[in-house]
Amino acid sequence: MVDNSVENLKQVGLTHFRNGAYLEALASFEAAVRAYEAVDDIAGRAEMMNNIGVIHLKNRDFEAAVTALNEAQSAFESVGDTDRQAQTLGNLGDLFAAQKRYKDAAKSYSNAAQLFAQIGEGKKQADVLRAYSLMSMRQRDFIAAINLMAESLRVRPKRSLAQQLFYFLLRIVLRLMAGG
């Protein structure tokens, strides 16, 4: 069982993160890692490693980010936490895209989207597919980008009116490109 001091470290870290105080957030998350280790909470520790990886990504410390995110992803997989494993894979996709390691990013985004689909997390799946689409757009792979964006909108559980219109237009474009 996790005590309140560990949960407090996590919440303080999240508050610092939301406020852009990444060094303070990092210190809180690192303290939380040690606290979760002390109570043998693998998933809690992995969540903090994921958060640490995101901070390193934001600070463009890619080596530290990939180490933290890979550790978190493996831990979530080992405890069967598919949701957080997929979230971490999405973060790895963002990391690889920032490094212009597009094949690795595509694999991470694709794996994250598949895991979210398996557990019925359509909104999270849609968000990962959108990130994948935007990466494809930056690579000037417009057909892949359009297909991924259309898939993102297709799986999104609740589309706004603008999203519904955009999805309709993308489907028309895809039909025209397919010759039908």
Question: In the chain, what are the domains?
Answer: 41-144 (1.25.40.10)
Two tokens, residue 116: 């979210």
Summarised one tens digit per residue, pLDDT across range 39-72 is: 999 999 999 999 999 999 999 999 999 999 999 9
Report the pLDDT value the prediction gives residue 180, as an integer from 0 to 100: 59
* Cα-trace Rg, the chain: 18
pTM for this entry: 0.87
Residue 9: CA atoms inside 13 Å, Cβ hemisphere, count? 20
| pLDDT, average across residues 136-142 | 93
> Per-residue confidence at 1, pLDDT binned at 50, 70, 90?
very low
pLDDT at 20 over 90: yes
